[in-house]
């Protein structure tokens, strides 16, 4: 049983570009949450998807958007990239009835 | 609101020394508390958790007790090893959406 997977592992973009990150949940999980971890900081909640809808959102601008597919996988899109968007992006997946979640290995985004 | 405060690092110890990393929290409702560990270049791994007051979470020689009266969840280990060198994050979940609130992390360096 594969755990949570994320792709790509690393990504380099320039300011103003757009990026799409992907997350596949652990088998049996239907909820996907995205977090941004800046260097030297703890992860910050971006948003959560359940039943293909955004269920809750943290304090991030509209440049950050997402999607959840019928197979429960999810994408995080960031438009008009800024230097400050450089971070490790983590997804965490779980099932609706339990509060244990599993984190993926993350995608390291560098914006130049 | 919900927040987690951790002692600042880095913490540098010699092998076999006793470890304490302090964590206090503010939360609405009845939070579940977690410790995650992050090794260089990797994602987050669950170390231990406690879901109600006076519970003790333990794993790999690490322990933490959920203290409601002091709103604390301090991480301890009796004898650290070089392989324990990593960043440790205290976190809580305090709502129905399983959104994590993380501390800023404490880096542990263990010297041989």
The pLDDT, as a whole number, for residue B60 is 95
Rounded mean pLDDT of A49-66?
94
Which DSSP symbol is given to B85? -
The pLDDT, as a whole number, for residue A108 is 95
Q: Which of A31, A42, A88 sits opposite B89 (nearest CB)?
A: A42
Give DSSP secondary structure letters for A72-90. S-EEEEE-S--GGG-EEEE
Q: Is B100 in Cβ contact with A45 (below 8 Å)?
A: yes
With 0-12 / 13-18 / 19 or more C-beta atoms within 10 angstroms meaning exposed / middle / buried, residue A55 is middle
Rounded mean pLDDT of A59-65?
96
The pLDDT, as a whole number, for residue B96 is 67
Q: Which of A45, A90, A100 sits opposite B43 (nearest CB)?
A: A90
The pLDDT, as a whole number, for residue B65 is 98
B-chain residues near A100 (CB < 8 A)? 46, 49
With 0-12 / 13-18 / 19 or more C-beta atoms within 10 angstroms meaning exposed / middle / buried, residue B6 is buried
Rounded mean pLDDT of A73-92?
97
- pLDDT-derived band at B98, boundaries 50, 70, 90: confident
The pLDDT, as a whole number, for residue B92 is 93
Q: Is A42 in Cβ contact with B102 (below 8 Å)?
A: yes
- B39-72 pLDDT, tens digit per residue, is 988 889 999 999 999 999 999 999 999 999 999 9
Kindly list the distances between the CA atom of residue B71 and the CA atoms of A3, B23, B92, B103, in Å, as whole numbers in the listed order.
Answer: 32, 9, 11, 14
């Amino acid at each position: 049983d594969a755990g949570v997977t994320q792709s790509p592992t690393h990504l380099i973009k320039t300011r103003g570009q757009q990026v799409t990150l992907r997350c596949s949940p652990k088998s049996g999980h239907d909820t996907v949450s995205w977090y941004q971890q800046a260097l030297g900081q703890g992860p910050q909640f971006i948003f959560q998807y359940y039943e293909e809808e955004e269920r809750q959102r943290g304090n991030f601008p509209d440049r950050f958007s997402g999607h959840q597919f019928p197979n429960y996988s999810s994408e995080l899109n960031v438009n008009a990239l800024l230097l400050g968007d450089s971070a490790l992006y983590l997804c965490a997946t779980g099932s609706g009835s339990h509060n244990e979640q599993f984190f993926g290995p993350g995608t390291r985004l560098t914006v130049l | 609101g919900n927040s987690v405060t951790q002692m600042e690092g880095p913490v540098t110890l010699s092998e076999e020394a006793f470890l304490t990393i302090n964590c206090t929290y503010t939360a609405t409702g009845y939070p579940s508390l977690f410790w995650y560990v992050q090794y260089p270049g990797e994602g987050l791994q669950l170390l231990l958790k406690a879901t109600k007051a006076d519970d003790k979470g333990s794993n790999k020689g690490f322990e933490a007790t959920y203290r409601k009266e002091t709103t604390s969840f301090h991480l301890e280990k009796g004898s650290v090893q070089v392989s324990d060198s990593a960043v440790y994050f205290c976190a809580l979940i305090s709502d129905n959406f399983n959104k994590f609130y993380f501390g800023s992390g404490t880096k542990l360096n263990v010297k041989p």
